[in-house]
Chain A
């Protein structure tokens, strides 16, 4: 306007939501995020511990897959996390916030332990495993069914309800331990059937955890098909988006809520059987060990995509197992690895922003 105004340039960054993004670009962004996070981690590691970051990294890798035994533990823990996440998927697609996986796992584990203890020596080996699977499915199903019935008929808050069911399950386990404790007075159940190995997952092809992996793969594939291609999968997605629309389309909303939570709970119950029968061979209040909550992260970070869920589960377990190693090797405590995991997650989740949005920089003339 008149010449006395001073002109100053200012950079303005504007976010624009991307409509589409090419696959290479999408994965390129994620790769850059991982690289950046490793650099940041290295700086942090050096500043805090004065250790060589490369050695710490190799320590993590060594801890997770350094020996055959360690690698198998990583696999075992990864598939466990995966099956729980898979179990949560139908509930979350229905917008039913099931945070009760812990309880459902514990109940499945309790059913498994009960069969191993009471029937382990009485039934033939070929009958006991199917029985364990069926009863753990049933136990988890009941634990998922209860909050679903209340949600469907009285519209109770499922978040609180499923959370409380976790504590109930934990108290029940404490109660069972009194009856099952071995040796007496130890207040733990101890390894069940150490001599006969009755009810233990058998070695297949010489591999301890083959059966664990097999069950999880089957469940994951079936669930993927269920969600994508079946009528029931479609119904629960509609219910999740809008109960009103579902009613309008003639979908029985209550039935769908109850059915879906039975499935969700059952799979988590089966995860309990895999833990007790296929890994720890004992039961305690920490049998679920927070996996029911970690699996929530797995399911959401993967946006319910089964392939991504595998990657995320392996990643989280890898870091977890690695942390145990570096804790002893470098005399750090296990939290050091949590810091690394945290930094990695921050970058990985943060980079999704750049996958969904692009940034455009403008030069703004500011007159003042």
Chain B
């Protein structure tokens, strides 16, 4: 007999230690052949809940019923046996192997590997669902979205009928997201049941059939997407009405703070220019947005200013006070830091740079302050501990304590720690890249407000962003990068999304 539900969760509870209850008595279900969105703010327990389905965690209490049968999922293997496959936010691929090798990794098979047959069945899968995948390409040469495709195909290849995607769009461009959604719709047509974890409302409304909302580990409710609006979902998610406005003030005391002239940067292998002839000025009391399709030189631009990137040629001038001028191109990274130029780059893997995963919040605060203070030999842990407490309080970081390694915090909380630390140093120039990547609404707005505070304090703020609507609301001017060149600098108050879109792609055709 046909089961209505692919998965039923009954009263599932998961605790971490005594203090943190990640999931508190959650019951929800996934119908066969539907796309269910699980919506919740960061730390609301979405990922933990799904990890219990994929065998990474084991529930402390409650039942999981798969296709009408109670199931004990003790390991990812058990999950696969039940045809449940999860695509994690952090990819689990072996970089030096090809897509096909990664896809068959860990599967039992005959001793003789028939790569031709394997490739054929992979291609059959990709054609059926409309993936774009080259089976023989090595992972490390792939973009994030291509890696994600490999992860999805890997799960399908193992015959998964139930797919769980954890924040799949967090690292994708709007175009790549569209492509992913097409694939998801194809899979739904083929009868697969899909859970998608996200906090982006427009995506929920676009792709899902039903939405289940979690808040602080508790299950709030499930609604049909066709009956939901962005406002109603936000209210369920946050528990109160939220006003989504960025308070943009007119810039005061505007003067040049950072001047970049004719900056050229070559790629690591020296074959092409990742930045060509970049010239612009960032002013005090102003937020300068940097827009562009990801990988068009944003990272290299910020790292050049922070002196973490080798430059081919060009000048970078810094005006700490009116009238005084310091050249940065001949300085080292630590000297630039001393001058109050700070960068909070949130990379795709969040922990790659800026934070030390195994250290706790206090020790991560120390990364910026350990070599300050009167004592030349010993470190001062008191000040960073106080700072850590302030950041945790002010940005509402969810953590069992200040001594918890940041690796154990959820993605959004990790980001708050990073951005909070950089802002706390009272920088003259603050560079942030993707500061709200993967963050929920409230945290995002908390960060926008922090950036605005910096602007009011007279810092020059450079903000690399991916959401054009936000850039238009937040920034004073927007610089658009395309193919490593500046394709335009526009006034954010008068420009439009369409204009930015043309600049973002227009430059690319030229290159």
Contacts and interface: CB of A to CB of B under 8 A. Distances in A.
Contacts of B306: 248
Given A249-B368, A362-B72, A244 B353 contact: yes
A241 B370 contact: no
Nearest to A235: B370
Interface stretch (B27-35, B207-215, B355-363, B387-395): B355-363
B356 A245 contact: yes
Contacts of A237: 356, 359
Contacts of A248: 306, 308, 333, 343, 345, 353-354
B277 to A, nearest CB: 26
Interface stretch (A12-20, A48-56, A84-92, A306-314): A12-20
B379 interface: yes
Interface in B282-310: 306, 308
Contacts, number: 73
B367 interface: yes
Contact of B333 (A12, A247, A364): A247
Contacts of B400: 19
A304 B346 CA distance: 32
B366 interface: yes
A154 interface: no
Given A20-B17, A241-B356, A231 B70 contact: no
Contacts of B333: 247-248, 250
Interface in B65-97: 70, 72, 74
A232 B376 CA distance: 10
Range for the number of chain A residues in contact with chain B: 20 to 34
A252 B370 contact: no
B377 A252 contact: no
A242 B377 contact: no
* Residue from A232, A244, A245, A251 having most chain B Cβ neighbours under 10 A: A245
B334 interface: yes
Contact of B58 (A14, A20, A230, A365): A14
Nearest to A243: B353
A232 B359 CA distance: 16
Nearest to A232: B377
Interface in B329-385: 332-334, 336-337, 343, 345, 352-359, 363, 366-368, 370-371, 376-379
A230 B367 contact: no
Interface in A198-257: 229-235, 237-238, 241-242, 244-245, 247-252
Contact of A231 (B308, B357, B377): B377
A230 B377 contact: yes
Nearest to B358: A241
B58 to A, nearest CB: 5
Contact of A244 (B343, B352, B370, B371): B352
Interface of B: 16-18, 58, 70, 72, 74, 306, 308, 332-334, 336-337, 343, 345, 352-359, 363, 366-368, 370-371, 376-379, 400
